[in-house]
Chains A and B, each alone.
Chain A
Amino acid sequence: MSVLSEELREKIRAEFPNYPNKRAVTLPALHLVHDNLRAVSREAIVEIAELLELHPAEVHDTMTFYNFFKDEKNPLGRHRVWFCRSISCMLRGGEELLENVCHHYNVHPGETTADGRMTVEFAECLGACEGAPCILVDDVCHMNVNPSTASALIDKL
């Protein structure tokens, strides 16, 4: 019983022509699986490795280098909200914003809320320093966020 659907496998295979070898498709494959399944499980790694003709350890070590990818023990919630903690955001209240949100939604950085709605993470510089403090909600960056605008955003997720 395969963890990766045929559709997902097709999407991964579609990347092959872009690179001279299959190994380079490791990150795109991890992203595709992670977005779709909210985690990259052990079985998924084995299947990705098979598709890419790699040993499972060669996929797994790349995956763990970026603390971006979750494994099956800590899957992502429906949404992922990153709070920048680097210098420009820290100087304008970014850390307090994170603390406020964690307190409000009763969750720690790296964890998912009990209702599965969102996973809260701290991030390093998100490159939106002109709008510090900023947060990244899934794939969209929001700037000049304060605790109330953050809650408003999150409640709409």
Chain B
Amino acid sequence: MKLTKRLLLAAATATLLFSGTPAFADLKFGVDVSPYPPFTSKDASGVIVGWEADFMAALCEEIKEKCAFEATAWDGIIPALTSKKFDGIMSSMSVTPERMKTINYSHIYYNSAAVIIGNKSDDKDYSPEHLSGKTIGVQIATTHANYLAKYYAPKGAVIKTYAGQDEANADLTAGRVDYIMADGVTLGAYLDSEAGACCEQKGAVPIDVEILGPGVGIGIRKEDTALMDKINAGIDGLRDKGFFEANTEKWKLAGKLILPKDMK
């Protein structure tokens, strides 16, 4: 009797430890646990949906692998990749020289403008001098946070950082921050929602490619060169098939994203 109990307990523990994300997924991609619509967000049934979710599904079909998302906190997503919690990062992560010291990136699969949004009652000027003394919200560990630190903080703006983009958005709705800087497409989704009714887009910030990056790519460990080649081949394949345009049409983002065909 005792032996059976112990066996059962051991079996339960084993199934527990190795359950969770589908064990049959050969490739796991890390994604921000906070919602980032329209690219990745959890719908009410718990499945991650969005432009990027569809991209992952298509990519994995192209490279003939079984894939799954693994949610993790954004500010620890690169360490999580290097400690092998997953095989790649697919979370609208911009390619920057700083990040490339730690990880490699696949081919870029989209680019979009970084914008600042604020209350409708404020004027349209969003230059660093005008925003001096104002509070700007931003997600931590993003290129936008670095941009604000370089251009806006020295001119006297107060920067508040949040673990997730949706928390920053919530504080803009609540009025605790005056402006937010983030990717134009995700902020567009926020502005279209009920919570974003207070606010409007002030404009796109002047581009600084070194800080903001030339676009978004899949983060991969430096030593995984075979995987890198596979994924790049997959992205190129999808590009030639016109997948990106079709996907952008499906999610009604036509004109807001700069796609691989128009780059390089």
Q: Do A and B bind each other?
A: no
Contacts from B to A (Cβ < 8 Å): none
Contacts from A to B (Cβ < 8 Å): none
